[in-house]
Amino acid sequence: MKTPFEAVALEYGQRKTPRVVAKGEADLAHRIIQEAKRQGIYVAEDPQLLALLSKLDVGEEITQDMYTAVAVILSWVYWLKGMQPGDEKKPSASKPAAASDFGKVS
């Protein structure tokens, strides 16, 4: 049996800890990714991180055991945007750093 296509979107910058703002499977997952790309949000594919994040409900903050994995993704997003940690809190920052994660869980 084929595993469903999944997506989990994180928000970081409004709170101290990243939190899940959207998640879904199949068509909803594709719509989450499409909307993220439309808004210029970077999308990363990491099936292992997805497996961890998919255990959380929408609105939940990531747990301490996820910090390192999420920090790697966020550092990649900062690097791609030419940002430094803390820039997302400055008024001149156009958008808070955000990352969406998707992939097939094996």
**pLDDT: which is higher, 1 or 6:** 6
Note if the pTM is more than 0.85: no
Dump the DSSP string for 5-38. Answer: EEEEEEE-SSSSS-EEEEEEEHHHHHHHHHHHHH
Candidate from 47-56, 64-73, 96-105 with smallest mean pLDDT: 96-105
∠23-27-31 over CA atoms, to 5°? 65
Q: Sign of the CA dihedral 37, 28, 88, 52?
A: negative
CATH of the domain at 68: 3.40.1690.10
Number of domains in the chain: 1
Q: What is the pLDDT of residues 16-56, one digit of tens each?
A: 899 999 999 999 999 999 999 999 888 988 999 999 999 99
Q: Whole domain around residue 92: which residue ranges? A: 5-104
d(CA 39, CA 84): 21
